[in-house]
Structures are given as C-alpha cells and as structure tokens.
Structure 1
Amino acid sequence: MLQFEIKKAEMKIGKRKGTTMYFAHQTTHHCLTTTALEYRIERMTSLTRADVRAAIIALSAIVQEELSQGRSVDLGELGTFKIAATGKRMLTAKEVTPETIRRPHVRFYAKRPMRLAARSVALEIVHPEKASSAKPKKPKGGGGQSGSEGGGHVGA
C-alpha cells in the first residue's frame, strides 16, 4: 500500500497564480532489505543464504560491467536496465559534439508483470488530524473492563 499525505502550495505562475492548491504527496514507504530478500529466496529455493548473497553480488557486478560498456541487460521477468543519454539542441550539425551530450543515466524498463504489480497497489490518503484524534479512550471509573456485562463486577 502506498500512503500519501495532503500538502499545499501557493501557485507562482499560470492562471491560478496566488491560489493555494492541495495535492497528494507520497510518504516514505517500507523497503525490502537485501538480508530479507536473501532469506525469502533461500526459503523458496534450494540455495543457501550464502549462495543467494553470492549470486546477488555477481549479478550486480555483471550489470555494472555491461552498463559501463553501453550495453543493456535483460533480467527476464523483471525488466531491462539500459544506459540512456540525450544531446543538447544545437543550431548547426557542426556544433553537435560529444561534449553536448548530457550525462548518461541508468534507466530501468519494467516488464509487463512488474507494471501490472505497480498498477494493482492500493493507494491511501493519510489524514494526520484524524490519526491523532483516533487515540483509544480510557474507560471511566475505577475498574477495568473484563469483556462481560456488569462492568466487571460479579453478581451474587
């Protein structure tokens, strides 16, 4: 589930200049750590945790090596890593040189199953004023509640 909080900003340009607008801003979300990933792969396969860790380290090294050579890396159902760079627009063809090419970036292009997983995630707006007012109320009186009728008193 992705959680969002409501933020506001005053518009600086355009037809809504000076108007306060509200928008959803994503809060931080949980991350599956490498250690947790290793344990999950270990449980799902016949590999040991050390084997899984070695495979992840090797995969990382191979992907880095291939990307540094300008090649893309297809990781099956996950997707493809590619290096992408664009050039600045110049007035003449003679002005286009390697120096006018912007710094390359790593891009990840998810395959269909990954894109479908992203589309199926639940979205939620978190309202901080409701969350803070939703504190459990303490029972009135001297005794606690036992879950039975009679307020916890034993009848005779």
Structure 2
Amino acid sequence: MDYSLSKRKMSVGPHTGKEVFVASAVCQKHHITFDELCERMADDSTVGQADIAAVFYRFRKVLNQLCSQGFIVDGGPLGTFRPTFTSKAVLKEEDFKPAECITRTQILFTPSTEFRKLKDVEFFRVAVQEKKKGKDDKKKKEETGGTP
C-alpha cells in the first residue's frame, strides 16, 4: 500500500505545539467496479461472474427486507447489519406521526474485527498527492487568469 508523509503541527496530545510527520494512505486512482469485483471473485472458482453478481443483488434485497422488519442481521465474516433512522422530537406524544417524524432510514454496517483488518500489507512511500481542484478553484483561476 502506498503512503505519503506530511508535516503537521500537533494541537493535542503529548506533542502539542510540535511539528511531527504523519503517514497517510494514498489510494489508487482506479476504483474497482462492481463487474471487476465479481470477476475477481469468480477467478479460481466454480462460480461464474454472473452468479456472484446475482448473489450480491439478492443479498441486498433480503438484507433490506430483514432490516426493514427490525432484524439485526449477522453477515458472518463480514460483520453485522442493523436498521437505524433519525427521529424528530415532539412535545406531545399524540403529535408524533411516524410518516412525518421518522426520516433517513438506513442500514448501519459494523464490520467484524477480522474483516476490518488488512492482511499481508506492504508499505511503499510515495510523494504527497496534490488535492483535486474543486469547481470554485477552477472558476477563480479562470476569472483571475492565474492561480486561485
């Protein structure tokens, strides 16, 4: 895994006020697509890429159904999935209307300890990556004819 070192001034902890070097992961620019993931999973397997994709889609559907019914789902070596939502506060119980007060329903994933760990990682130092320019930076550069 690639990493870069950057100098930072610490604002908390035993090194408060001191400049220290901190490593940051440098992720690959290429994102692995769903098709590529299925293809890699199908390698050295008797299961085809289409079958693997079908299992993922079915898993998503079943997981959504179960969590919608309030179940916590044990995903084995992956971790657990549970339903959660945001609720507005009301002053009187009779003012609570689920359709209006409950929002942002979602599934919360908690990876297992084993799934969270990266295995067989080798580290390679690379140069600090430049941050991507946002739309505002690009627009300022065009307006000023130079740097934002």
For the superposition of Structure 1 and Structure 2, which TM-score range results when normalised by the shorter chain? 0.5 to 0.7
Compute the TM-score of the two structures, normalised by the length of structure 1.
Answer: 0.51
1:123-155 C-alpha deviation (Å, 9 max, x unpaired): 4141439xxxxxxxxxxxxxxxxxxxxxxxxxx
Q: Report what 1:24 is aligned to.
A: 23
CA contact (8 A) 2:2 2:126 kept: no
Residue 13 of structure 1: how far off its partner (Å): 4.5
The answer (yes or no) to whether the contact 2:81–2:107 under 8 Å persists in 1 is no
| Counterpart amino acid of residue 36 in structure 2 | A
Question: Could you tell me which residue of structure 1 aligns to residue 46 of structure 2?
Answer: 45
Size of the aligned set, in residue pairs, is 113
Identity %: 22
Compared with structure 1, are the counterparts of its residues 51 and 10 closer, same or farther at alpha carbon in structure 2 (3 Å cutoff)?
same
Inter-partner Cα distance in structure 1 for 2:106 and 2:41: 32
Cα RMSD over matched residues? Answer: 3.8
Q: Give 5+ residue unaligned stretches, structure 2.
A: 86-100, 129-148
User: TM-score, length-normalised on structure 2?
Assistant: 0.53
Cα distance, 1:4 vs structure 2: 1.5
Q: 1:62 to 1:45 in 2, by over 3 A?
A: same
One-letter code of the match for 1:5? S
In structure 1, stretches of 5+ residues that fail to align are 86-98, 130-156
Structure 2 CA distance for aligned equivalents of residues 50 and 122 of structure 1: 30
Q: Which residue of 2 aligns with 1:108?
A: 110
Distance of 1:12 and 1:77 partners within structure 2: 38
Q: Structure 1: how far apart are the matches of 2:17 and 2:122? A: 30
Structure 1 distance, partners of 2:13, 2:112, is 35
Q: Which has the higher strand share?
A: 2
Deviation at 1:23, TM superposition (A): 0.7
Does 1:68 pair with 2:64? no
Shift of 1:10: 1.3
Change (3 A) 1:26 1:64: same
Tell me which residue corresponds to 1:139.
none
